[in-house]
Amino acid sequence: MASTKIEVSGLGYAVGGVEILKSVDAAMPGGEITAVVGPSGAGKSTLMRAINRLIEPSSGEIYLDGEPTSALDPLELRRRVGMVFQIPALFGDSVEEAVLYGARLTGKDADPGRLLEIVGLDASLAGRDPQALSVGQQQRVTMARALALEPEALLLDEPTSALDEAARRRIEELVRDLNAWLGLTMVFVSHDLAQVERVADQVLVLADGRNVGAWAKNDFYSGAGERARQFIAGRL
């Protein structure tokens, strides 16, 4: 059984007196893909942002390999735990500059051509204007940018929501391939249960800011997870 890479313990987050996360406990196994699912407003994106310390929790703690992330420098944490958002945001006048953006900020060497090839893009794109790429290609570039830092884990917050079906499938395949090739721990937020079935090893369900259960994928898509699936689909 895989050891826990990321652990969330009693995590709470409130804004203006409104609780968004309510004492969430969760464990993300190392080297596996954990899908985070739930109705809109469940707190999925907030959980991801808290893991990456883009927001600071109101209570509780998050651990990376057993070490409290509150004790880590936020930039060091984000080097070790990368994040890819719904809408790709690229910086620089060329794809190469966009890929190397984070690495250069941290003084890390990286080969942009190799990184582009890892995410399924031709290295010849390195000199192109990143804004001239398709959205699907831009999302791959954001993943290459995250990989340039050689992270131990990668958080993906609905990375395919802005893509067409063909591009969604390519990103799904890339996620599975990166997990297999690099042993990356990955946390993948999605509203699409069919996508989760294709991608995930474990499924974590949030609702109203709480963790209502976690299942191995095969259990979630069997009778054991039926009520959770119906709940997410709005049938309960």
Residue 76 within any structural domain of the chain: yes
What CATH number does residue 68 fall under? Answer: 3.40.50.300
Phi, psi of 196 (to 5 degrees): -60, -40
Residues 6+ apart with CB under 8 A from 134: 167
Q: For position 236, what pLDDT does the model report?
A: 38
Residues 6+ apart with CB under 8 A from 16: none
Asked whether 188 and 36 are in contact (CB, 8 A), the reply is: yes
Q: What is the pLDDT of residues 167-182, one digit of tens each?
A: 899 999 999 999 999 9
Residue 66 within any structural domain of the chain: yes
Q: What is the pLDDT of residues 206-224, one digit of tens each?
A: 999 999 899 999 888 887 6
The one-character DSSP state at 233 is T
Residue 126 within any structural domain of the chain: no
pTM to 2 decimal places: 0.91
Mapped onto helix, strand or coil, the DSSP state of residue 106 is coil
Asked whether 157 and 86 are in contact (CB, 8 A), the reply is: yes
Q: For position 48, what pLDDT does the model report?
A: 97
Q: For position 235, what pLDDT does the model report?
A: 46
Q: For position 31, what pLDDT does the model report?
A: 96
Residue with tokens 């959770």: 228
Residue 169 within any structural domain of the chain: yes
Residue 157 within any structural domain of the chain: yes
Q: For position 15, what pLDDT does the model report?
A: 92
Q: Which domain holds residue 61?
A: 4-86+152-232
The domain tally of the chain equals: 1
Residue 92 within any structural domain of the chain: no
Q: How far is residue 97 from each of residues 4, 84, 104, 232, measured CA to CA in Å? A: 34, 17, 9, 40
pLDDT beneath 50: ranges in the chain = 235-236
Q: For position 129, what pLDDT does the model report?
A: 95
Q: How far apart, in whole angstroms, are the C-alpha atoms of residue 163 and residue 134?
A: 9
Residue 13 within any structural domain of the chain: yes
Mapped onto helix, strand or coil, the DSSP state of residue 226 is helix
Q: For position 88, what pLDDT does the model report?
A: 87
Residue 140 within any structural domain of the chain: no
